[in-house]
Amino acid sequence: MFAPTRRGRAAGLALGYVADLLLGDPRRGHPVALFGSGAAALERLTYSDRRVAGVVHTGVLIGALAVPAVALDRAAARRGAAWTAALTAAATFVVLGGTSLANTGADMARMVDGDDVDGARDLLPSLCGRDPAALDVPGLTRAALESVAENTSDAAVAPLCWGAVGGVPGLLVYRCVNTLDAMIGHRSPRYERFGWAAARLDDVMNYLPARVTGLLVAACAPVTGGSPRAALAAWRRDAARHPSPNAGVAEAAFAGALGVRLGGPTQYAHRLEIRPTLGDGRIAEPADLRAAVRLSRAVQALAVTCAVGVSSACRSGRRASRRA
């Protein structure tokens, strides 16, 4: 069995990123949304208020994607670099969400800048799971900026990292885990135990990509007139106090790069969290949200450049075995 060629995988990552950049997420029939519908249907059969039920639920869904993904990846490899590139490009386009994230963030910035509170509240659920009814313009701005920061890692940098080292299986399994975390990984009476496995696995799979994101944010800080040193300092000082081991890295780095202060009371549907302060700058304004979108786009571009380089340099797959 021949492994995917390095050239094909690298080309596929670049092509998939360009497709996302030009097209964004499809409005209807998105494969991730279809996967979510399937996961919700399975949940009706597997749900129980126990961790073991969540482990089974998560494992079945990961296996349902991983097995055909490995088979397709190997079949494409046997046909050559062009097939690997095409398959990797399709998978990359499906799992990336960076362009839609940036576009939604830009729409939010226009609304809060124009004091369109009702429009911003209607749009906020596209970015995060907070209760928009409890937020005014500064709260909506902060929520959107924090979501842009966190999802720059989750929707762009992390899938590119997994695609660089794991090809099509890495891309699809990562998106499966991240989607399940969004669906069942939050702390609520229903999912406290059932969603435990999905949440912990998402933490593991995002651990290194989140830190790559922090480095990329620092590198790109000058794009918005920010300081790489300030981004790294905020990450080092504040990230560990965030309740998420990964979101805190991206949010703190963005705060330092933009010179703003994030964190504080955060209202979700089921609970109020008092988040730690990230960064030591001013309260975020609509102009800072626009700057965060520019920073996110720059980080995504640098991330795909790095992913293509890593994929080209890494030896992928296995050697053909020698005959005795």
Q: Could you read off the pLDDT of 78-132 as tens digits, one per residue?
A: 898 999 999 999 999 999 999 999 999 999 999 999 989 999 999 999 888 778 8
**Where do the structural domains in the chain lie, given as residue ranges?**
6-313
The continuous run of DSSP H or E covering 261 comes out as strand 260-261
1 band by pLDDT with thresholds 50, 70 and 90: very low
d(CA 159, CA 98): 10
- What pLDDT was estimated at residue 130? 79
Say if residue 219's pLDDT is above 70: yes
- Pick the residue with more confidence: 4 or 213? 213
Say if residue 321's pLDDT is above 70: no
Q: Could you read off the pLDDT of 256-289 as tens digits, one per residue?
A: 999 999 988 776 666 667 778 999 999 999 999 9
pTM of the model: 0.91
The continuous run of DSSP H or E covering 272 comes out as strand 272-274
Query: Long-range contacts for 224-227 (Cβ within 8 Å, ≥24 apart)?
Result: 224/257, 224/258, 224/291, 224/292, 224/294, 224/295, 225/291, 226/256, 226/257, 226/258, 226/259, 226/291, 226/295, 227/256, 227/257, 227/259
Q: Is 96 left (phi over 0), alpha (psi -120 to 50) or beta?
A: beta
Say if residue 315's pLDDT is above 70: no
